[in-house]
Amino acid sequence: MSFQAYLDAVEDKTGLTPRRLIELAHERGFDADTKATPILEWLKEDYGLGRGHGMALVHVIKNGPTISTKHVGSEGSHRDESETLWLDGKATKPA
């Protein structure tokens, strides 16, 4: 599954865009200095997210929407279209 696909699945599971979840995380005081565990616990408790989906959100909460170019343009299931993740919801993605 691509990084973007994880974020899209989080939106399906929670009904919230990744950007909104990031805002909520920041309101709780989670930022680049926060360890993954408290963020994962919050996401599991409040939204029922497992570790894989939670870690995708941990990355964008701590580091923003940019990812490694390792899988950008590659083949296979982990392929992403861009090194910048779309955080504003599947319905607003540019075609």
Contact 13, 48 (CB under 8 A): yes
Residue 25's CB: how many other CB atoms inside 10 A? 21
Residue 52 pLDDT: 94
The residue among 77, 10, 70, 71 whose CA lies nearest residue 46 is 10
pTM of the model: 0.88
Residue 26 pLDDT: 97
pLDDT (tens, 9 = 90+) of the chain, 95 residues, equals 788 999 999 999 999 999 999 999 999 999 999 999 999 999 999 999 999 999 999 999 999 999 888 768 777 777 888 889 999 999 999 87
Residue 68 pLDDT: 84
**CA dist., res. 44 & res. 89, Å (int):** 20
Residue 38 pLDDT: 98
